[in-house]
Amino acid sequence: MDMPEQPQIYLVTPPVIDLSGFPDRLAAVMDAHEIACIRIALAARDADAQGRAADALREVAHARDVAILITDHVALADRHGLDGVHLSDAGRSVRDARKALGPDASIGSFCAASRHDGYIAGEAGADYVSFGPVTETGLGQGDLADHALFEAWSLMVELPVVAEGGLTEVKMAELAPVTDLFAIGDEIWSQDDPVAALRRLIAAMGAGA
C-alpha cells in the first residue's frame, strides 16, 4: 500500500471523563490539530454513563466532520448514532459487529502484537487493525508491538494499521514511516496542556520520515 506522507492522528478518550469539562478539552485539541477519528474508551460499564458520553462527544466530533467510534459496545454505537466500533478481541467479533451495524460502519480491531490476529480481523471485514502497546504500558499483555511488525504489515497488507499504547516522541519518529495512524490517549490527556502535548508528538513524526 502507499503509505501517507505522515500518519494521521486518532484520539482515544481517557478511561474516566468529566462531561462538564472533557468535551471542551476535546474540542480544543480538534480545533488545533487535524484529527482523523475519535474513540470513546471508558472504563465504566454503566450503559447510561456510556450513552451520555457518546451523545456529548458525538456532537463535538460530528460538528467537525470527524468519525467517532466506541470500544466494544456495538449496541451503543447503533443506538447513539456513532460511526462504528473498536473491538478489543483480536477479530473474533468483527463479523457479528458488521452484521449488526451494516456495511457503512467503521469497525476496527485491536490485535495486540499478533500479525496472525490482524490477518483474522482483516479477513473478517475490519476496516483497520491496531497493534500495541509499543512500549511498556497497561494497554495489553505479553509482547510489545515492534517496528518489524508494523514494517511487515505496511509492506504486505493493504488494510490500514494503527499504532497505540505507550507512544513517545521517539516511538512516533520510529514508527511514522510504517504506520497509517497513531492512536493517542493518555499521552496527551494526562498533561496540563493536551494541545501542546499533541503538537510535540506530531512534530516528532517528522524525524522518522
pLDDT in tens, 80-108: 999 999 999 999 999 999 999 999 999 99
* Run of H or E including 164: strand 161-164
**Does the structure show a pLDDT above 80 at 149?**
yes
> What's the pLDDT score for residue 141?
58
Classify each residue of 31-41 as buried b or exposed e, where b means 16 or more C-beta atoms within 10 Å of its C-beta: eebebbbbbbb
**Rounded to whole angstroms, how far apart are CA atoms 131 and 118?**
8
Q: Which domains does the chain have, with CATH numbers?
A: 8-208 (3.20.20.70)
Question: Residue 206: what pLDDT?
Answer: 82
Question: Which of 38, 172, 209, 178 has its CA nearest to residue 115?
Answer: 178
Rounded-to-5 percentages of helix, strand, coil across the chain:
45, 15, 40
Phi, psi of 2 (to 5 degrees): -85, 115
